[in-house]
Amino acid sequence: MHLILFDIDGTLLNADGAGRAAMVRTLDAFVGHHDALDGFAFGGKLDWTIWRALLAAEGYSAAEVDAQLPQLYRRYVAELVFLLSAPNGPRPRPLPGVVALLSALERRADVQLALVTGNAEAGAWLKLARAGLQRFFHVGAFGNEALERTALPPLAVRRAEAWWGQRFDPAQITVVGDTANDIASARPLGARTVAVATGSATAAALHQHAADAVLPDFTALDRTLAALGLGSGPLAVER
């Protein structure tokens, strides 16, 4: 049985700037400005470490950051809900080929899907729901649950094993993402890595980080399945 762990932003969907916009509004509410976001690169980072870096840049001590994070997170989620519900707000959308890929994987009896994302959990499900992708996923590991991305794949695997009541061999686990951090996070687990150049990194840059496969996008389904180590497989009777 294969377990495929997907990143979200830049891999499954384009969030249309929703996360950054919600962070801008949250920082404005907390510190009166959002200067710390200028030039800040989000790709492959965890929401919890992003917030820690932003508050540290504003002069908060480590203890103050720890005290503020729960309130900050609640405000961020509220801002994200507001933005995604606004008539002219951001519109997260699936990246090319994603719906066809997830639909094909969902139909297979030899594949299970889960998430490994830097998004905090509530934000992850909100973005997926707005993009119409939430139905493909049940479990995952999220950016409010660790300070290092390498901690997330093992957590996602444990949750997947509990959800489906089966063990997954690391040789049959694949981490799919769009950044060098996604690739690096899979190595301690011994998982396969597939990188896709639909985020902030180019295919050439991703090749330099030694992913097992690098794709320009997911539009060619057969090519993508081959990169995932899947050929023709058994179809599930019911999922």
Residue 170's alpha-carbon distances to 4, 136, 166, 198, in angstroms, are 11, 22, 13, 26
Question: Which residues lie across from 172 on neighbouring strands?
Answer: none
Range of the domain at 44: 18-85
Rounded CA separation 125/129 (Å): 6
Whether residue 214 is contained in a domain is answered as yes
Domain boundary among 51, 85, 119: 85
User: Looking at the structure, do residues 204 and 111 belong to the same domain, yes or no?
Assistant: yes
Whole-number pLDDT of residue 167? 97
Binning pLDDT at 50, 70 and 90, where does residue 9 land?
very high
Half-sphere exposure at residue 146, Cβ-oriented, CA atoms within 13 angstroms = 19
| Encoded tokens for 11 | 């891999």
Longest dimension (CA), the chain: 56
Instruction: Spell out the alpha helix ranges (H) of the chain.
Output: 18-31, 47-57, 62-85, 98-106, 121-130, 152-164, 180-186, 203-208, 221-227
Q: Do residues 29 and 110 share a domain?
A: no
Tell me: do 116 and 158 sit in the same domain: yes
Percent of the chain with pLDDT over 70: 96
More confident: 64 or 218: 218
pLDDT for residue 233: 59
Q: What's the pLDDT tens digit per position in 120-177?
A: 999 999 999 999 999 999 999 999 898 899 999 999 999 999 999 999 999 999 999 9
Residues 48 and 164 in one domain: no
CA 194 to CA 89: how far, in whole Å?
Answer: 32
CA 13 to chain CA centroid, Å, is 9
CATH number of the domain enclosing 73: 1.10.150
Residue 169 CB-half CA count within 13 A:
5
DSSP per residue, 145-209: S-SSGGGHHHHHHHHHHHHHTS---GGGEEEEESSHHHHHHHGGGT-EEEEETTSSS-HHHHHHT
Asked if 41 and 126 sit in the same domain, the reply is no
Share of the chain above pLDDT 90, in %: 72
Mean pLDDT of 109-127: 95
108 in the same domain as 80: no
Which of residues 59, 85, 111 is at a domain's end?
85
